[in-house]
Amino acid sequence: MDVANASALIVAGGSLPAGAAAAFAARRFSHTRKPPIWTMIAACLGLGLWAAYVMPPGLLLTASCVLGWTLLVLATVDMLALRLPDLLTLPLIAAGLVVSWFLPERDLLGHAIGAAVGLAAFWSIAMLYRAMRGQEGLGMGDMKLAAAAGAWLDWQALAFVVLLACAVGLVWVGIATMRRGRAALDERIPFGVALAFAIWIIWLYGLPEMFDPT
């Protein structure tokens, strides 16, 4: 089987069950009838094709699909219900540590440190925000997703993950403000969506040269 056929088999074979499972999980955790199953199947297929375009077939492509499909569910649930379930974030942390052992650098320690730093950094930000504003700014789900970012990408990537996620969050707020006015500034935003997007982009393409320590 050639490389193209192997990649197509991984993506096509996994997208249908992954999309159906993603739709079920998103509905289960958000307690709504959304999203439609066909939408999640199409999204899983799109993410799989995107990963296949960037990643070589084999373990890296399979891991990329699993990461992308899990991030899709988390982003969908966060958008619908403003929550990031432990049932998805905690296994994602463990999966990142396992996958790190099979990456070329085999830097399990660096990825474990990344998970710890991601959790600690977001916890510190949440506590500081609560002390300054007297209300919650980041949820525990965001902290655990940040830990997953460190587990998959290692500690050196965390700063750019946060930077990119904040940029996406600002765009989100800007669009919401244009649509609903200043009232949108008082609304909670699903920061997990921005964080998931940042993790996915950096997993596929790595850090920009100015941020790459190598």
pLDDT (average), residues 124-142: 74
DSSP secondary structure string for all residues of 80-142: HHS---HHHHHHHHHHHHHHHTTSTT--HHHHHHHHHHHHHHHHHHHHHHHHHHSS--S-HHH
Q: Residue holding tokens 């993603």?
A: 22
pLDDT (average), residues 204-209: 84
Q: What is the mean pLDDT of the chain?
A: 86
Does residue 14 register a pLDDT over 80? yes
pLDDT tens, residue by residue, 33-65: 889 999 999 999 999 999 988 988 888 898 999
Element (H, E) at 158: helix 158-180
Each domain of the chain, given as residue ranges in start order, spans 1-81, 86-214
Q: What is the pTM of this model?
A: 0.89
- What count of Cα atoms within 13 Å lies in the side-chain half-sphere of residue 207? 17
pLDDT at 207: 83
Query: Which range, of 51-60, 70-79, 106-115, 193-202, averages the lowest pLDDT?
Result: 51-60
